[in-house]
Amino acid sequence: MSYVTSGEEFSRDDRYLTTRITADGRDGFPVEPGRYRLVVSRACPWANRAIIVRRLLGLEEALPMAVAAPVHDERSWNFGLDPGGRDPVLGIERLQEAYFARDPGYDRGITVPAVVDVPTGRVVTNDFPQITLDLSLQWTAHHRPGAPELYPWELRPQIDSVNEVVYRDVNNGVYRAGFAGSQEAYARAYRRLFDRLDRLSERLAGARYLVGDTITEADVRLFTTLVRFDAVYHGHFKCNRRKLSEMPVLWDYARDLFQTPGFGDTIDFDHIKRHYYLVHTDINPTGIVPAGPDARDWLAPHDRAALGGRPFGDGTAPGPVRPAEAVPPDHNPLR
C-alpha cells in the first residue's frame, strides 16, 4: 500500500458518508440503543475520539463497539482479534463488507470510526467529526448519570474555532508531514505543525483546558494526536523538532488528560505502533516496530490541577472500564 505520492502534498480524502443518526431520525436512522455498532481501531486517532467520547458519556450499552485489528491491507480493516476472524455481531471478516452492503460500487476510503446499522449490516456514517458531536447532542437520552457536557452551547463557537485550526495544523498536520511527497511540502507542514503547537503551549500555559474550565470536545480532539506523538509522529512522520516530552506545557497537559478516567484507559500503545510502522510500508519498508518510548512516563505527576478547572464540570468521572473493553495490561501503563 502506498501513502506517499512523489512530488505532491498529502491531501486527505474527506468524502465521508454524512448520514446522521439523530434523536428525531431525520435521515432515516433514529437513535435506538443496541441497533448500531461502532467499529473502531484503537490505533486510529480519529476512532480514538469516538472511543473516548462514548466512554465519557456512558454509552457503552447503548452503542456497542467492535474493535478491528491494528494491521490491515488494501482490503481494509479486519476483525482478526475476534474468534474465527469475524465480528461476532455483524458476522463479517472485514469492514469493507459493511461499506459494500451500503453501496456495492463504493470507491472511497474504508475508514474508522464507522457506525453500522446491525439489522441491515450497512455502514450508516464514517463522518468522524460529526459522530462525536452527535454522541454528545443526539444520544442524550442514553447518557449515564453525571455525563459531562463536552460541547456546551455557550462554548461552541470557541470550541469550533479551536477545532478548526487544531485539525488543519496538528491532527491532519502530522499526516501532511509524514506523507509529504516533496521536501517543500514536508517543510510547509512541519512549520505549520510546530507553529501551532507553540501557540497551543502559550494558550495552555495559564489554562488547564483548551476552552473554559472543563474538558470539552476540543481537548478530546487534541489529545488523540498528542498521545501518539512520541510513539509515532516524532520519528515515523519526521515531526522531530522536539518530542512531546520536550514541550513542557503540552506534555503536562497531555499527561493530565491521560490520567483522567476515559482518556488514558482507552489507549493501546501496542496497537498504535504496530499500525503505523507495519501498515505504512512505503515509509517504513523494514517493518521494524520500535520498542520505545517507555509508556510509564505517562504516569509522572503533572501539577496541572494547580491551574484550577473541573474536569467533568457538574458531572462525574466515568466508572471502571468494562472488562471486555479493557486494553491488555502490557499495552497500557495504567493497567
**Residues tagged active-site:** 44, 175
The crossing angle, in degrees rounded to 10, of helices 217-226 and 45-57 is 140
Contacts of 282 (CB under 8 A, 6+ apart): 1, 2, 3, 4
User: C-alpha grid cell for residue 103?
Assistant: 453501496
The single-letter DSSP state of residue 129 is H
User: C-alpha grid cell for residue 128?
Assistant: 468522524
Peptide bond between residue 152 and the one before it cis (omega within 30 degrees of 0): no
DSSP string, 96-107: HHHHHHH-TT--
The crossing angle, in degrees rounded to 10, of helices 128-137 and 217-226 is 140
Name the residue type at position 277.
Y
Contacts of 13 (CB under 8 A, 6+ apart): 108, 109
Q: What order do you get walking across the sheet with 36-40 strand by strand?
A: 65-67, 36-40, 114-117, 122-125
| Helices and strands counted in the chain (H then E) | 9, 4
In this structure, are residues 56 and 138 in contact, taking their beta carbons and an 8 Å threshold?
Answer: no
Contacts of 244 (CB under 8 A, 6+ apart): 226, 229, 230, 234, 250, 251, 254
User: C-alpha grid cell for residue 292?
Assistant: 520505545
Q: Could you give the CA distance from residue 204 to residue 211 in angstroms, rounded to a whole number?
A: 10
Residue 17: count other Cβ atoms within 10 Å of its Cβ.
Answer: 19
